[in-house]
Structure 1
Amino acid sequence: MITTHKHPARRNPLRSGRKTVYERWSSPNLFVLAAGGAAIGFNNFWQFPRLAAEYGGGAFLLVYVLCVIVIGLPLLMTEFALGRSGRASPISVFRYLAYRAHASPLWRAVGVMGVLSVFLILSYLSVIAGWVIAYTIRAGLGVFVGLTADGMNAQFSQLVSDPEKQLFWHTLFMTMTMITAGYGVRRGLETVVRYTVPLLLVLLLVLLVYATTTSAFPRAFYTLFDPDFSKLSGAGVLAAMSHAFFSLGLGAGAMLMYGAYLGVNERIPRLSLSVVGIDTITSIAASLVVFSILFTGGVDVVSGPSLVFQALPLAFDHLPWGRWFITLFYALLVIVAWTSSIALAEPVMSWLSERFSMSLRRSAILCGIGAWTLGVITIFSFHSWAFSFRLFGEVKKLGFFDILQVLTAQGLLPLSGILIALFAGWVMKPDAMREALRLRTPWVFSTWLWLMRVVIPLLMLIVLLNIFHLFA
């Protein structure tokens, strides 16, 4: 049982002022939906398909699943366990657990990195989510019907070069996120995920069924599942390792925060397996949909915003009922962004409540204003404030937006993942982690322990050292 202390450095994070820290998930099923919704992100749809196509389909898929088992699942279990052990924001969790383990208070820096990461990611994710909302409405109105490739490119360029339109959609999405987060776990987060995550999966299933009716579905199935090991280079293995880490939202503090709301009797390994399963199945289904649509429409496989905002609407326009199914696809992505952004806001709001004794709604307002302001700067990075810089031989042309991406995805997140593994493996007492994880079988716990102590830090260090090449 956690007790309080009079000395400030020993103060129990549970006494830090935020009432929602005491909240628990109503059921393990809702926890799985929330964590699964947080794990599913844009990368499942606009990065995984290209990686699979480039690095040998089934060969890449096999390596990716192995990386998920070796890196993703153990780290996800660890973040859930650390969060439940501390029951506070990531900063307070590491402060408290380091004190309990008689370790350096500097370990709280891992929590600081996590909170900073999610805050920065939330700011530019909201901008991209705004694009998706705008495209959902445009697709439904038939704006993309009959457009050529140049016309699709012009549509996207017009949107990102118009700060006023982006500002409207960015503000709308940020408001949606913070209103939901401001109602807390039971009335806000659970209410949303109870309906949106099942809807997300249903929409994906509808799109997958639609994909099976296309002439290119057999080719799509073959592209994804046929193993071509001649295409699986070292870069492909690194990409699989990287995607296994980033796809589950690890290192950012969001999963650790969700773990803080777990009941003491919930079995973390089983819940983590469910979350990993949802995320992996989503990536596979999304790849089949993307390949089927692109191949049928005669459009090349690309990745990132080019896929979502240019290639896919062009390909869908060549298919029967394409206007309506591209609208469903964008509606799905809006849900993906919404569930992810709520998870990103949680650690920031929790820390604000602890640090400044704020109410939940005030912390939501302050978090929203701060992230919204950074998002405005990101918007102008595509317009009048754009500037170029060179980093490790790679030219970046989007100024502040590129800086945020480099700082988070290419710096803070992988470094946090390494430090979380080292903290759990070497700083925390093995008996404490065995009890937190409920791993009773000796060999299973020993495997987890040495993955944390040696294997995962080394693999993530390799990813970190090569990450600029991977993102290039």
Structure 2
Amino acid sequence: MQAKGAYPSFTSRLAFIIAAAGSAVGLGNVWGFTYVAGQNGGGGFVLIYLLALAFVAGPAFMAEMLIGRMGKASPPTALAKLQASTGSRLRWPSVGWIGLIGTLMVLSFYAVIAGQAMYYGLIALEGGFGGWSESAVTKLDADFKANPWAMALWSAAFMAFTAAIVSFDIRTGIERAGKVMMPLLFIMLIGLVAYSGHTGDMGAAVNFLFGFHEINFSSRLFLEAVGQAFFTLGVGVGGLMTYGSYMGDDVRLPRATFWIVAMDLFVALAAGLAIFPLVFASGVEPTAGPGLVFLTLPIIFAEVPGGAFVAFIFFLLLTFAAVTSSISLLSPTVQRLAEARVSRPVAACLMAGAAVMLSLLTVYSFAGGRGVYPLAAFGLNGMTAFDLIREGVSNFILPLSGLAYCLIIGWALKREVVRAALPMAEGRLFTLWYGVVRFIAPLAITALFIGAVVG
């Protein structure tokens, strides 16, 4: 148990890495990466995605973690402490508050998608999908999205589960959940890759994801890849900063960052190798978009041997991935309320309830509001409330917050202060990372933001 009055922390370096990896591994890896890679032609997207992880999102990831470690508080409070230490007149806590708003925005559509995954998992557990016709799968998806009450109920169930975990102290809740769910997630994912390799067309999937076929490098491709790198790692909304504040002084952050980013990348690529072999073997185009997971794949599951069992494992995997990320998204706002002397159980329930209320916008977008575009008068025609929330986070909050973190570490804080807070065995490694955070990452993030605005 955590000593009363002490700032919460993980029990060990391994516990921190597992929890932080769970924060990074989420729907962005399984749901997001596969459909975005499919829409953008595979190989070229994956190549730029790898470069973005190495030179933009990865360094920004470590910068956000480092700010949390130095501040030892919720994002707004941690940033206020660092601002006070520099004497800057800029309002650094504003970045933290924007991040807290961003966590609720992400949770609002996370909950709806995860709720559908939970519902589909229950259908599969009852023997559903196995031998179903394409029309039956299509009807299931249409009926679910035509029923706002069902979507809201499953969204609330998912957030209740998330709140139950976060309501405990760090070691009993977040740490223990990560230790249980992350190994199971990896086991299920490896099993699905093995199944797809045996049943599907693994050669076509490998060629699609890694082949040096004709690549159409466009500004949109770069934007999608860099944005996806930020989204899969969860950089920019304060969840990582909060986990960084729980980090022990014995954690070697560069090494931990390497392993966390590596696990995040492994899950994304393994998800592609679990899904695309079945897609190509079934003669389905990989460009199905967001419907790849909830419409295209269930149709494929209905055709493969043991389809109901495979579907159950897949949607359980998707649910676990969502939970490990959602607890890190809920943690910053809970920690901030805890600083205001609100108990963790009450804070978790309040913030989960706020996310559920906000999720009604996504529910409406999927149900009766598919043709309703709230900001059409401002040139955003064709974008539902869900589109506005998702792209608002990905194209504005994430890059702007990530840029702020890099500027704080690379320019606002003195180099010797950063160096002292980030001990490394090799000075060259620090110089390389510091140069990337100071120059390369800010330039790339700025280009991403400008491209998103112009595009």
Say if 1:59 and 1:161 are closer, same or farther in 2 by CA, change over 3 A.
closer
Aligned partners of 1:334, 1:319: CA distance in 2, in Å?
A: 22
CA contact (8 A) 2:242 2:331 kept: yes
- Structure 2: give runs of 5+ residues left out of the alignment: none
For residue 363 of structure 2, what is the aligned residue in structure 1?
379
Equivalent of residue 249 in structure 1, options 203, 216, 234: 234
* Shift, 1:52, TM fit: 4.0
Counterpart AA for 2:82: L
Quote how far apart the aligned CAs of 1:298 are. 2.1
Q: Does the aligned pair in 1 maintain the 2:72–2:245 contact within 8 Å?
A: yes
Instruction: Give SS of 2:451's match.
Output: helix
TM-score of the superposed pair, with normalisation by structure 1: 0.90
* Equivalent residue number for residue 9 of structure 1: none
2:30 counterpart residue number: 45
Equivalent of 1:463, from 448, 451, 454? 448
Distance 2:145 2:6 in 1: 39
My pick for the range that moved more, 239-248 or 257-266, is: 239-248
1:315 and 2:288 are equivalent in the alignment: no
Instruction: Work out whether residues 298 and 315 of structure 1, in 8 Å CA contact, stay in contact via their aligned partners in 2.
Output: no
Note if contact 1:421-1:456 (Cα within 8 Å) is conserved in structure 2: yes
The correspondence for 2:17, drawn from 32, 42, 47, is 32
Q: Deviations over 1:293-325 (max 9, x none)?
A: 111222221355301110001112111112210
C-alpha change, 1:62 and 1:319, in structure 2 (3 Å) is same
Distance in structure 1 (CA, Å) of the matches to 2:439 and 2:408: 12
What SS is found at the alignment partner of 1:230? coil
Name the counterpart of 1:390: 376
Cα displacement (A) at 1:292: 0.6
Query: Whole-Å Cα distance in 1 between the matches of residues 220 and 107 of structure 2?
Result: 29
Task: Report how far residue 35 of structure 1 moved.
Answer: 1.1
Contact kept, 8 Å, 1:32 with 1:274, in 2: the verdict is yes
Q: Is the 8 A contact 2:230 2:398 kept in 1?
A: no
**What's 1:6 paired with?**
none
Task: Tell me the distance in 2 between the aligned counterparts of 1:144 and 1:376.
Answer: 28
| In 1, Cα distance between equivalents of 2:336 and 2:237 | 14
1:89 alignment partner AA: S
Deviations 1:153-173 (A, max 9, x none): 322121112122112211211
Alignment of 1:118-133 (within 5 A): 118-133=103-118
Distance 1:79 1:19, change over 3 A: farther
**Matching residue's letter, 2:67:** L
Q: Which residue of 1 aligns with 2:390?
A: 405
Rounded to whole Å, the distance in 1 between the matches of 2:453 and 2:232 is: 17
1:201 corresponds to which of 178, 186, 190: 186
The root-mean-square deviation of aligned C-alpha atoms, in Å, is 2.2
Shift of 1:140: 2.2
> 1:259 deviation in Å?
0.4
Relative distance call for 1:163 and 1:215 in structure 2 (3 A) is closer
70 and 82 in structure 1: CA distance in 2 versus 1, 3 angstrom threshold: same
Q: Quick one: which of 98, 101, 111 aligns to 2:96?
A: 111
Alignment match, 1:155: 140
Q: Which residue identity lines up with residue 49 of structure 1 in the other structure?
A: T
Distance change >3 Å, CA 236–CA 366, structure 1 → 2: same
Q: Which runs of 5+ in 1 are unaligned?
A: 1-17
Worse-matched range after superposition: 285-294 or 151-160 = 151-160
CA positional deviation for 1:343: 0.4
Q: Distance in 2 between matches of 1:167 and 1:438?
A: 47
Q: Partners in 2 of 1:314 and 1:20 — Cα distance?
A: 53
Provide closer, same or farther for how the CA distance between residues 469 and 165 of structure 1 changes in structure 2, counting only shifts above 3 A: farther
Q: How far is the alpha carbon of 1:39 from its aligned partner?
A: 0.8
- How far, CA to CA, are the matches of 2:127 and 2:441 in structure 1? 48
Secondary structure in 2 matching 1:203? helix
Q: CA deviation at 1:77?
A: 1.2
Matched, 1:359 2:343: yes
Point out the more displaced range, 305-314 or 377-386: 377-386
Which residue in 1 is equivalent to 2:162?
177
| Residue 132 of structure 1: how far off its partner (Å) | 0.8
Q: How has the CA–CA distance of structure 1 residues 192 and 56 changed in structure 2, closer, same or farther, with 3 Å as cutoff?
A: same
Distance in 1 separating the partners of 2:50 and 2:377 = 31
Alpha-carbon separation, structure 2, partners of 1:20 and 1:141:
47
- Whether the aligned pair in 1 keeps the contact of 2:252 and 2:424 (CA below 8 Å) is no
Q: Give CA-to-partner distance per residue, 1:53-87, whole Å, 9 cap, x none.
A: 55564444333222211112211111111101011
Q: Is 1:265 aligned with 2:250?
A: yes
Counterparts of 2:5 and 2:56, CA distance in 1: 30
**1:19 shift after superposition:** 6.7
In the other structure, the counterpart of 1:82 is: 67
Judge conservation of contact 1:177–1:341 (CA < 8 Å) in 2. yes
8 Å contact 1:294–1:301 — kept in the other structure?
A: yes
Out of 104, 109, 124, which is 1:139 matched to?
Answer: 124
Q: How does 1:52-67 map to 2 (within 5 A)?
A: 52-53=37-38, 55=40, 57-67=42-52
- Which of 403, 417, 422 is the matching residue for 2:407? 422
Within 1, Cα distance between the matches of 2:131 and 2:304?
Answer: 11
The answer to whether the 8 Å contact 1:99/1:105 transfers is no
Change (3 A) 1:62 1:170: closer
State the match for 2:261 in structure 1. Answer: 276
Match of 2:222 among 234, 237, 260: 237
- What is the CA–CA distance in structure 1 between the aligned matches of 2:315 and 2:377, rounded to whole Å? 33
